[in-house]
Amino acid sequence: MGEATRSSTTVIGMKIGIVGATGPAGSALAVRLASVGFDVVLGSRSIERSVEVLAKLLAKWPDRNLSITSSDNAGAADADLIVIATPWDAAWTTAKSVGSHLEGKVVMCMANALIRVGHEFQPLVPPRGSVAASVQAAVPGCFVVAALHHVPAKELADLGHPIESDVLVCSDHPTAKQTCMDLIDKMPDMRALDAGDLTQAAPIEAFTAVLLELNMRYKTRVAVKFTGINLDQ
């Protein structure tokens, strides 16, 4: 299997398709990426829903000149780089349903396998250990990268403020991982960190349960920032 080849400069001009983009996470990522110059396609199981969400996003940010279009999930999967932003239990079936569009492309999975039981958030172990690994198994010919699990959608959607956050990125495909890190670094105050191979997606996804517990207990929305890593050295 060959690997998608991109370097830090070639993310500019990429079209990003988001599958499941009508939810808080996907729509937030769409506006944030569009705000830094990317063309974004909103995917949904229903074109009508995608059109409706796009109208709301553009109405909220009328002066931003956001380059976003609406489509179904297959239309979003026609883009250069695809983000999976569905609930965890729909991620690999949805990826498989548009699998022919994903072949040879970078697919960024931001889904977390979690369940809320009473007041508690519990991480789940999906088949193959993580949602991202399940997506990779469902579409072996794409290059899955796991990222953006810990970035709170509400803050991501607020273009009036940058999000100061580290973003853990892991993949078995180094070039695809670098592409996603370059993309993430384009968003102001977000810092992509190379967290290793796709095996790390399991603890990264599961850790989201801890963040949601913190959100609940401290009545806030936390983001993650690591000390001791100086990328300027």
The CB-of-10 to ligand NAP minimum distance in angstroms stands at 26
Least separation in angstroms between residue 51's CB and ligand NAP is 11
**51 to 90, contacts with ligand NAP by CB under 6 A?**
85-88, 90
Considering beta carbons, is residue 23 or 196 the nearer one to ligand NAP? 23
- DSSP, collapsed to helix, strand or coil, labels residue 56 as helix
Q: What strands, in cross-sheet order, belong to the sheet with 39-42?
A: 68-70, 39-42, 15-19, 81-84, 106-109, 143-146, 165-171, 190-194
Least distance to ligand NAP, CB of residue 202, Å: 14
At 169, list the tokens: 């990125």
Instruction: Candidates 4, 15, 39, 45: give the one binding ligand NAP (CB under 6 A).
Output: 45
# residues near ligand NAP by CB under 6 A = 24
Decide if 102 contacts 73 (C-beta within 8 A): no
Tokens matching residue 122: 């519990």
CB neighbour list of residue 144: distance below 8 Å, 6 or more residues apart: 107, 108, 109, 132, 133, 135, 136, 171, 172, 173, 176, 198
Residue 149 binds to ligand NAP (criterion: CB under 6 A): yes
CA-to-CA separations, 216 to 31, 102, 111, 142, in angstroms, rounded:
26, 37, 20, 36
Helix (H) or strand (E) holding 202: helix 201-218
Contacts with ligand NAP, 127-146, as mask; x by CB under 6 A: --------------------
From CA 74, how far away is CA 113, in angstroms rounded? 23
If binding is defined by CB under 6 A, does position 16 make contact with ligand NAP?
no
Among 25, 31, 68, 139, binds ligand NAP (CB under 6 A): 25
Residue 44 found at the interface with ligand NAP (CB under 6 A): yes
DSSP state of 35: H
Q: Which stretch binds ligand NAP (CB under 6 A): 2-10, 59-67, 132-140, 147-155?
A: 147-155
Instruction: Single out the segment in contact with ligand NAP by CB under 6 A; choices: 108-116, 120-128, 171-179, 185-193.
Output: 108-116
CA distance 39 to 17: 9
- The nearer residue to ligand NAP, 58 or 90, going by C-beta atoms, is 90
For position 153 contacting ligand NAP by CB under 6 A, the verdict is yes
Stretch that binds ligand NAP, among 24-32, 58-66, 98-106, 184-192 (CB under 6 A): 24-32
Identity of the residue numbered 56: K
Asked whether position 112 contacts ligand NAP by CB under 6 A, the answer is yes
Report the interface residues with ligand NAP, using CB under 6 A. 20, 22-26, 44-46, 49, 85-88, 90, 94, 110-112, 148-149, 151-153
